[in-house]
Structure 1
Amino acid sequence: MITMKDIVREGHPSLRLPAKDVSLPASEEDKNILKSLMEYVQNSQDPEMAEKYGLRPGIGLAAPQINITKKMIAVHVRDKKGNLFSHALFNPKIISHSLEKSYLTAGEGCLSVDRVVPGFVPRHSRVTIKGTKMDGEEVKLRLRGLPAIVFQHEIDHLNGIMFYDHINEKDPFEIESGAVPIER
């Protein structure tokens, strides 16, 4: 089981390296890693489990965050209507996105960052993601709102990008013209 001690923090080299593709069909070892990423995000959202194991709540986790530079992410999040988006994917990538931008009004956070980083993170409002599930099935997800932001955040980890790299240094709270505010 992954706990906070397994999550590397900013400054760790794995967070800045481009991750490698996972060979498919996935090995048992890679499936177990992907499973453990999903278990963390689910356990961290369970108040009893989070307290018992000292887990910081998270809605997404990428393999580089546990010092494994392979393309694997797990996301477990609900949109504003309460629909659950729970996906553990190998080799996820954004295959298309909107020109329209959005941002989280509360800013973004990260399990690998132990400090609050003020500012808005501009993201695409809508994205289409392609990836492979644990059972080998290829999926295509069309996302908007919070789920779109979370998937972009996790896929950034696979490319060595941290969320604060997107924040405008000169004006952290600058809002791009026409950007859609997303409440958490």
Structure 2
Amino acid sequence: MNGYERRMNIIEYLQNSDKAVSGKDLASLYRVSRQVIVQDIALLRAKDYDIVSTNHGYILNETKKVTRVFKVKHSDEKTQEELECIVDYGGIIEDVFIYHRRYGIVRAKMNIRSRNDIIHFLEDLKSGKSTYLKNVTSDYHYHTVSAPTETILDLIEKQLEEKGFIAQLQDYEPEDIKKSS
């Protein structure tokens, strides 16, 4: 495990802990010295993670959120599976948007965090006369996904790729569409 991976794991560990975690415990867990952990914490703080040192150990005050845009394509029947790939790995589906050659970016907020949110979303669509936004662009669409770490976003991307959901950007799409929020 390299330093970056260790620091991302430290963040995830602190986020999942319901109490302060000592530098000694982190050092033992990651098989490094306590001084390495102190340096890791300093680097994480420099990246705007709000880590507080107490006399009982480290606490992560606020969850830092990173985002990534995924371009995906699938049928209506695969919508639930696609969304579950994201939330099951700890991602939050912030929105869905399409890029239309004539209308540009058309976006809708989603804020889907759990399988329960997915069920409500799907039920809402079934109960009305609306259809999926992706149907305007032959099933191609984008999701802005947030997560506590880049590692989680990498896992989500890998899962989406394995399921065949990831789609490639086309020449006519703006280069910065993946940064669009």
Report the TM-score when normalising by structure 1.
0.24
> Which protein is richer in helix relative to its size?
2
Larger radius of gyration between Structure 1 and Structure 2: 2
TM (norm. structure 2) is 0.24
